[in-house]
Amino acid sequence: MSKVKHPRQVGAYGEEKKLRFEDLIDEMPLPVADADRIEMIGIIGGGIMGSGIAQATSQAGLDVIIVEKDDESLKHSQNKLSESMDREIQRWGMTTSEKKAVLQRIKWTTEIEEVSECEIVIEAVDEDLKLKKEIFKRLDSICPEETIFVSNTSTLSLSKIAADTKRGDRMIGVHFLHPVPKIPVVELVRGIQTSDDTTKIIKSFSKKLGKTAVEVFEYPGFITTRVIVPFLNEAMHILMEGLATADGIDTAMKLGYNLPIGPLELADSMGLDEILTWMETLWHELGEPRYRPCPLLRKYVREGKLGKKSGEGFFKYDAHGRKIS
């Protein structure tokens, strides 16, 4: 019986040497999606959530590419992120050097093709199913098959979003909460086809960002949105019914339940138009009266009172987003 010959390779000076098992392992292709080897993240949408995700990702030492729809939106997003970090510097939550380091790792573009080299691409646009589907269909055509797609949806069906792609197993939802750099939790949302490997990789990625990942299965609103929306809605009803002022409602809830921020100021920081969209989706999907939007919320959104981003909601805010007494 012949002996199995040990693999050999030629050394630097022409001599033969045994090829170690470690050498074979080193030469084997490694999964691109290994969380420890992820170096660049693509983000579609540079709004409040997209720029917040970019900041958290950059602070974790990863390079980021943010794609905006046009030059005007891109410039606006850049300015808002810079202003947000300036406020952190004023509060001693960040240094000027740290801000500079974060921005150096972020590249801004209007060309979606530039994210084709990213190991993970995160979509962070408005809660518009048609728009999200179009984005992922486009990404599916330009990104390698091993690229993982992430949606930051808070209420929409992940399986519907992924339907027009060929990688349902590599599609997952990560629901970041605002403000992203500070909130230490994310919801990992598994679609019908999401694989265990994809979930494991994104869970590891979330940990790298300093987030605790809570796994949930696809269902409208997941955990955080379903719980917070009725809370905010009831506060709006109390205000509409004239039981108390907005300041009185928030003060009672903050002091009574040891909350860092009252429900109406929280709603303003989230964006009243966003909350209305979430509520309408939940009301449509679940049919529960508790998700029916308060008429006062609809009125404020019609009037353009969207909260901090418009300068007025249930409270008024200055140009830096600080509440005016």
pLDDT at 221: 87
Give the tens place of pLDDT for each residue, 88-146.
999 899 999 999 999 999 999 999 999 999 999 999 999 899 999 999 999 999 999 99
Q: How many helices (H) and strands (E) does the chain have?
A: 12, 10
Backbone φ and ψ for 45, nearest 5 degrees, come out as 110, 120
- For residue 1, give the 3-state DSSP assignment: coil
pLDDT at 10: 44
State the Rg of the chain over Cα: 23
In this prediction, residues 63-74 reach a mean pLDDT of 96
Give the tens place of pLDDT for each residue, 172-189.
999 999 899 999 999 999
Domains of the chain, CATH where assigned: 36-217 (3.40.50.720), 224-310 (1.10.1040.10)
Beta bridge partners of 43: 66, 122
pLDDT at 255: 98
pLDDT at 307: 96
